[in-house]
Every structure is written in C-alpha cells, then in structure tokens.
A and B are shown apart, each in its own frame.
Chain A
Amino acid sequence: MTAEPLLSVDNLTVQFRTDTGWLTAIEDVGFSLGAGETLGIVGESGSGKSVTALSLLRLHATATTRIPTGTITFAGQNLLRLPSRALRRIRGGEIAMIFQDPMSSLNPVLTIADQIGETLALHQGLDRAAARRRAIELLDLVRIADAAHRVDAYPHQLSGGQRQRVMIAIAIACRPKLLIADEPTTALDVTIQAQILDLLRDLQAELGMSVILISHDLGVIAEFARRVLVMYAGRVVEAAPATTLFRRPMHPYTSGLMQAIPPLDADVHRLPTIQGSIPDPARRIPGCRFSPRCAEAQPTCRITAPSLVPVGPDHLARCPPRAGAAR
C-alpha cells in the first residue's frame, strides 16, 4: 500500500435517531484505500455496509443522523468536518456513487441528457450544448447503443441494465478519484450483472480510479475486489486481501459465508447455513456480536467485546479464540 492512502476511515460510528433513542448503525469502522485500489465490503443486509458507504459523502438525513466519532480523510481533508459547499464539490466530482436500484435512482421527469449534463455543468461548468455532447460520449463509453438518440430518452424508456449504465455514466462524468458502488448489480439479472461488472472493471482501468464495491454477494466481491472488508452487525469483523480471505477465512462468520457458497464441482442437496439471523440493531449484544450464532463461541466471547487484531500478514479479524490459535 502507498504511504498516503487516498481514503482512510478511522473509528467511524454512525447513529440514527429513533423513537426510543439513538441507535448505533455502525461502530468503530476503519479501513483505508490507495489510489487505483479496489475494496470490497461484504455482509448481510443490515450489517452496515450501505450506512458506511453513504456516510463517506454524508448522504444520510442530517436531522436524524449523528456521527459521534470518526474521521474520513480523503486526499488530505476530513470529509466529516468539511463545510457543505466544499463537500458538494467533492460529491459527484472527486467521489461519485452509484446505487442499488437503477429503477428508482434516476429522476423520472428529466431526460438522460439533463441528468448527466447536470453533473458536468456543476463541476466542469459546461453549457447545455457542450454537456449534451459530452453526455453522448459518456453513454458511448458505458456502451449504450445509439447514444445520440438515447440521450434524449426518459428513464422509463430504458431497461434496468441501461439505467444502471446511465448511473455509471453520471458517476464517471467528472473522472472521480473514487467510485463507490453500493450493490450496483443486485437489482439486475445475472447476465446483465456480469456485463455491468465488466464495464466497471474496464472503466476503472481506463480512468485509474479507486473503487469501493459493496455487495452481499461473495462471488461478485471475489471477482472484483483486491481487498475485502467483512461486516457484521455494524462492525468490521475481518479485513484481508481477497485471495487470503477466500483461502483462509479467520472469522467464523466469514467461514460461514464461504461454506454457504454453492460449490460448482459437487452436487449438494442442502447448503450449510449460518444459524439464526442478524440481530436487531436496537438490541445491545454484550461481547462478540456474532457469539449468539457462533458454533465456536467461548464463555468469554459473550462477555468481552473482541477487538480487531492482526491474524496474519495484512489480515485482521475480530475473533480472539481463532486469532490465538493462528499464532
């Protein structure tokens, strides 16, 4: 990793206001990402992946969200302390984001040209005609056929895959240094999924941007990410290079996820599953948050909250029993 990472997140905690008080959605999340690198964040729904992603651009509703601790350092400045005007220059300019549901992420009453052009006008000061020309180029770049005509279409005239390509075109319009892709393929069918991932990979190589890919799909993560962060119940439970993680998962939760991937070479009637379900975030679990579902839980696991410790080269896990055994 380079000496000065492009993005580093430290000790990030995000809380939401609910009727019963402040609810901690993610706690003590930390990671860093160098220029041009790809980070995958994986976890079940409710694990805090999307909350983490949205907080990078402070996209949570301000009235009901607070971030009591943490820093998000991007290119030398703390995004959490940035005045909103400066933050808006980064949003869509240096950091861009694409979302899970392309069906609802585009404004239904504006044309594609308007929606791509808006970013270009905001960050590059292009006028309407120039923005339109550039929008057509961008549609070409994201491989939408007949871009010159498609640019005047409304979102409802495009398919789901095309809409996600438009979202990508909007995201890369200003050549961002970092692209955050929050479940970009979840709402799409499998063949389109592969095409979109290919496109993202090609664009990343072409533009040299860093990518954070968020997914609940280990297959997608394995294919795409160099480094992987595994999240569970609002915490990072394991962080490692993808190859290490898939070869030697350290946290029982990660191992559980790996075992639940259907093998290609054998016929299994029943896949192993992780018992139980992700805990209600309103319930505080003492000790390790995974302990109620963990087959290997020790008595101490239920009492003291484990911390993220090195278990190998460039490999962190939040599981003391396994970490002890690894040493």
Chain B
Amino acid sequence: MNLRVLNRLALRLAQAVPVLLVVAVVTFLLMHLLPGDPAVVIAGPEAGAEAIERIRHQLGLDRSLPEQLLLWLASLARGDFGRSLMLNQPVLVALGERLPVTLSLTLVSFAITVPVGVALGVLAARFRNTWLDSAVMFLALVGVSVPSFWIAILSVILFSVILGWLPASGYVPLSDGLLPWLLALLQPAAMLALFQIGFLARMARSATLDVLDQDYIRTARAKGVSEWSTIAKHAFRNTLIPVVTATGIILSLLMGGSVVIEQVFALPGVGRLIVQAILTRDYPLVQGTLLALAFLFVAINLLVDVIYTWVDPRVRYG
C-alpha cells in the first residue's frame, strides 16, 4: 500500500463524516415524524396521562425537537449512543450483541453470492445463446423474482423438516465452533444469497460479454491464446471492474435483506432488533442502529475503493 492509496483512504474517511451527520439528522427526524410515543408504550395500557407525562419528562421527550436533536448529536460526539428505552441497556451494548449475528449472516451469504454469481455469469457469457445461457438467465430471473421469505420457508420444509439436514432456526455463535456456526447460517445465508446471485449473474454476464467484444481480446486470440485462457486471464480481471462495484451494492443489499431472513430463521440479529425498536418507538435504539448501519455502508464503499486500486491499474496511478 503506497502513500497515494493512504491519501485516498483518508480523504474518503473525511468525506464520511458529513454523510453520517446527514444520516443522523434524517433518522432522527423520521423517527419523530412517526405517530406514537415511547412513553405510552413504557407506561403500559393502564397508565394515566400524568404518569405518561412524567415518563416523557424523564426521557427528555418534552423538550423541543431541535433541543432533543442537539442533545443527541452532542452525546454522539462524545461516543455515547444513549440507552435503549425498552431493553434497559445501552444502545451500543445491544448492538454489540446483535451485530455479530447479522455480520456473520451477511458474510456467509456474501461468500456464497460472489463466486456462484460470477461463475454463472461468466459461464453464461462464454456459452452465449446456448441452452446453458438460457438456463442461467432463467435461474437468475427466478432468483430476483421470488420473494425470499417464501422460498426460505419452502427450503426449511425441505431441508429441515423433511430431510433434517440443517437446523430450521436459531444461531450458534462462532465461539461454539466453526462448523456448528456455519451449519446454522448455511440455510439462511443461501436463501439470502439467491436474490443477489441472480442480480450478480446477470451483471457478470453482461460485463463479460462487453469485455469479450474488446479489441484486446482479439489481440489475445491473435497471439494464439486458447479460448479458456482468454477468458480466465484477459477477460476476467476486466470483468471484475464493474463486478467490484456491484459487490459493494450487494453487501449493502445483503445487510438490508437480512432483516427479513432473520425473522424467518429467528436469528437474533440487527434486523430483528431494528424491527422491534421501530415497533416500540425506541428512538435511541433505532437512531443508533441506523447510524451504525450507515457507518458500515460507508466502510464497505471504502473497501470497494481499495479493491479497485488492486483490480484496475489505471485507478492506482490515475
């Protein structure tokens, strides 16, 4: 890693600060725009107006919106994400418990998506207009069209209920062993990957076709390079350039998609946490979680940027 790359990284990190600030303000306003009041939820159905008012005061919800926003931002600046209203624990602790689950799910799913999606796309391009191409494109279409919760339920019926190969739900932490962890995540991760595989396969196919039309591919053929080498050596790395962009988006989409999959497979991840928090109007928890996710997205984009410099030499020096 040379100085130029480090400079780029520093610049990108600095650019992340205003992005996160905007995310913070927008999530804050969105949450407070929602009808409903956490004080009512905390106080319970029996509570009178006075009790609710007391809780509102305790939580600081009786202050003006700009005041609340500034207070929250000020505590964020100190690294304090506040306490969850419902879980009775700090937001960061709650996140720290749930994030590993979601990250595990996302990463395993990503590890399935990228090789499978790229391989299918390259194969379809290599055998353009044959039955193989049509089959891959059909599967891709199914992958992007079928709702993930539905196919996930079907998968549970087949692999967990009928065949009994994989657990139907639940999470096993990595500290309990690599294999149990992987087994617990395999099914949800594969279901989560289906959509992305379809997306990536289409993308990789068109990228490969595009590259195969380039003059330098003709040059490689004129040099006597075999058909497969042409694809593996000359086309593949050029195909990767748009694919890397896509994988950044895919990682983000996987994290988004995990909300649904975590529900289906009862995984105690960030997705379930955030759904719960929104339903109970747990302002600090929703805001803190969204901010953490936004930070992850920025980090992913940064990573994509670094990978670019490795894949495409023109970025390295350009």
Q: Are A59 and B224 in contact (CB under 8 A)?
A: no
Q: Which of A93, A104, A105, A106 has a CB less than 8 Å from the CB of B224?
A: A93
Interface residues on A, range: 20 to 34
- Distance, CA A105 to CA B234, complexed state (A): 12
Per-residue interface assignment for chain B, residues 291 to 318, with 1 indicating a CB less than 8 Å from any chain A CB and 0 otherwise: 0000000000000000000011110011
Further pairs besides A92-B222, A107-B219: 20, Cβ < 8 Å: A59-B218, A88-B226, A89-B224, A90-B224, A92-B223, A92-B224, A96-B223, A99-B215, A99-B219, A104-B216, A105-B215, A106-B216, A107-B220, A108-B238, A109-B311, A122-B223, A122-B225, A123-B224, A156-B313, A167-B219
Q: What residues of chain B lie closer than 8 Å to A91, measured between beta carbons?
A: 221-224
Within B54-80, which residues are at the interface with A (CB < 8 Å)?
A: none
Q: Are A109 and B237 in contact (CB under 8 A)?
A: yes
Q: What residues of chain A lie closer than 8 Å to B218, measured between beta carbons?
A: 59, 99, 105
Residue in B222, B317, B318 whose Cβ sees the most chain A Cβ within 10 Å: B222
B216 to chain A: closest residue by CB: A107
Q: Which of A101, A104, A111, A119 has a CB less than 8 Å from the CB of B223?
A: A119
- Distance, CA A49 to CA B314, complexed state (A): 34
- Distance, CA A63 to CA B227, complexed state (A): 14
A114 to chain B: closest residue by CB: B233
Q: Is the C-beta of B214 less than 8 angstroms from some C-beta in chain A?
A: yes
Q: Are A154 and B225 in contact (CB under 8 A)?
A: no
Q: Is the C-beta of B88 less than 8 angstroms from some C-beta in chain A?
A: no
Q: Is the C-beta of A195 less than 8 angstroms from some C-beta in chain B?
A: no
Within A90-137, which residues are at the interface with B (CB < 8 Å)?
A: 90-93, 96-97, 99, 101, 104-111, 118-119, 122-123
Q: Are A110 and B222 in contact (CB under 8 A)?
A: no
- Distance, CA A154 to CA B218, complexed state (A): 18
- Distance, CA A90 to CA B227, complexed state (A): 15
Q: Is the C-beta of B129 less than 8 angstroms from some C-beta in chain A?
A: yes
Interface size (B, Cβ < 8 Å)?
25
The binding surface of chain B is classed by DSSP as helix
Q: Are B225 and A156 in contact (CB under 8 A)?
A: no
Minimum CB–CB distance from A112 to chain B (whole Å) comes to 11
- Distance, CA A60 to CA B13, complexed state (A): 48
Supposing A109-B237, A154-B313 touch, asked if A118 and B215 sit within 8 A by C-beta, the answer is: no
Q: Are B222 and A108 in contact (CB under 8 A)?
A: no
Q: What residues of chain B lie closer than 8 Å to A63, measured between beta carbons?
A: 128-129
Q: Is the C-beta of A157 less than 8 angstroms from some C-beta in chain B?
A: yes
Q: Are A108 and B223 in contact (CB under 8 A)?
A: no
Top 6 nearest A-B pairs by Cβ distance? Answer: A92-B223, A92-B224, A91-B224, A104-B215, A107-B216, A88-B224
29 A-B residue contacts at CB 8 Å? A57-B221, A59-B221, A63-B128, A88-B226, A89-B224, A91-B221, A92-B224, A92-B225, A93-B224, A96-B223, A101-B215, A104-B214, A104-B215, A107-B216, A107-B219, A107-B234, A109-B237, A109-B311, A110-B237, A118-B233, A123-B224, A154-B313, A156-B314, A156-B317, A156-B318, A157-B317, A167-B219, A170-B219, A170-B223
Supposing A89-B224, A118-B225, A170-B223 touch, asked if A105 and B216 sit within 8 A by C-beta, the answer is: yes
Q: Which of B214, B223, B311 has a CB less than 8 Å from the CB of A118?
A: B223
Within B234-253, which residues are at the interface with A (CB < 8 Å)?
A: 234, 237-238
Minimum CB–CB distance from B278 to chain A (whole Å) comes to 45
Q: What residues of chain B lie closer than 8 Å to A89, measured between beta carbons?
A: 224
Supposing A59-B218, A63-B129 touch, asked if A110 and B224 sit within 8 A by C-beta, the answer is: no
Q: Are B222 and A97 in contact (CB under 8 A)?
A: yes
Within B154-201, which residues are at the interface with A (CB < 8 Å)?
A: none
Q: What residues of chain A lie closer than 8 Å to B234, measured between beta carbons?
A: 107, 110
Q: What residues of chain B lie closer than 8 Å to A99, measured between beta carbons?
A: 215, 218-219, 222
Q: What residues of chain A lie closer than 8 Å to B214, measured between beta carbons?
A: 104
Within B244-283, which residues are at the interface with A (CB < 8 Å)?
A: none
Q: What residues of chain B lie closer than 8 Å to A107, measured between beta carbons?
A: 216, 219-220, 234, 238
Within B79-136, which residues are at the interface with A (CB < 8 Å)?
A: 128-129
A119 to chain B: closest residue by CB: B223
Q: What residues of chain B lie closer than 8 Å to A111, measured between beta carbons?
A: 313
Q: What residues of chain A lie closer than 8 Å to B311, measured between beta carbons?
A: 109
A64 to chain B: closest residue by CB: B129
Minimum CB–CB distance from B106 to chain A (whole Å) comes to 29
Residue in B214, B223, B314 whose Cβ sees the most chain A Cβ within 10 Å: B223
